[in-house]
Amino acid sequence: MRNSSTRPVTAVILVAAGSGQRLGYGMPKAAVPLGGDTILIHALRGIVAAGVGVQICVALPAGDDGLRAQCDAFRDELADGGPLLTVVDGGATRAGSVRAGLAALMEGVEAVLVHDAARALTPEAVFHRVADALDAGAEAVIPAVAVVDTVKTVVATDGGDAAIAPELVTGTAPREELRAVQTPQGFRLATLLKAHAAAAALDPASAAAVTDDAMLVEMLGTPVYAVRGSTQSLKITTPLDLILAEGLLEGPLGARWVEG
Tell me the C-alpha distance between 178 and 196, whole Å: 25
| Region from 12-20, 30-38, 123-131, 227-235 binding Mg ion, contact rule CB under 5 A | 12-20
Task: Give the CA angle between residues 39, 79, 254 to the nearest 5°.
Answer: 45
Residue with Cβ nearer Mg ion (22 or 175): 22
The answer to whether 206 contacts ligand CTP (rule: CB under 6 A) is no
Q: Which residues pair with 141 in a beta bridge?
A: 186, 225
The answer to whether 26 contacts ligand CTP (rule: CB under 6 A) is no
Tell me how far, at minimum, the Cβ of 39 lies from ligand CTP, in Å. Answer: 8
The answer to whether 93 contacts ligand CTP (rule: CB under 6 A) is yes
Tell me how far, at minimum, the Cβ of 118 lies from ligand CTP, in Å. Answer: 4
- Angle, helices 94-102 vs 213-220, to 10°: value is 80
Count the neighbouring beta carbons within 10 Å of the beta carbon of residue 68: 15
Task: Give the CA angle between residues 105, 106, 109 to the nearest 5°.
Answer: 85
Mask 50-79, x = binds ligand CTP (CB under 6 A)? ---------x--------------------
Which does residue 196 bind out of ligand CTP, Mg ion, none, counting CB within 5 to 8 angstroms by kind? none
| Region from 7-15, 17-25, 72-80, 212-220 binding Mg ion, contact rule CB under 5 A | 17-25
Burial label, 82 (beta-carbon count in 10 A; 0-12, 13-18, 19+): middle
Closest among 12, 43, 206, 258 to 111, alpha carbons compared: 12
Binding site for Mg ion (CB under 5 A): 18
Binding site for ligand CTP (CB under 6 A): 15-22, 29-30, 59, 90-94, 97, 116-118, 235, 237
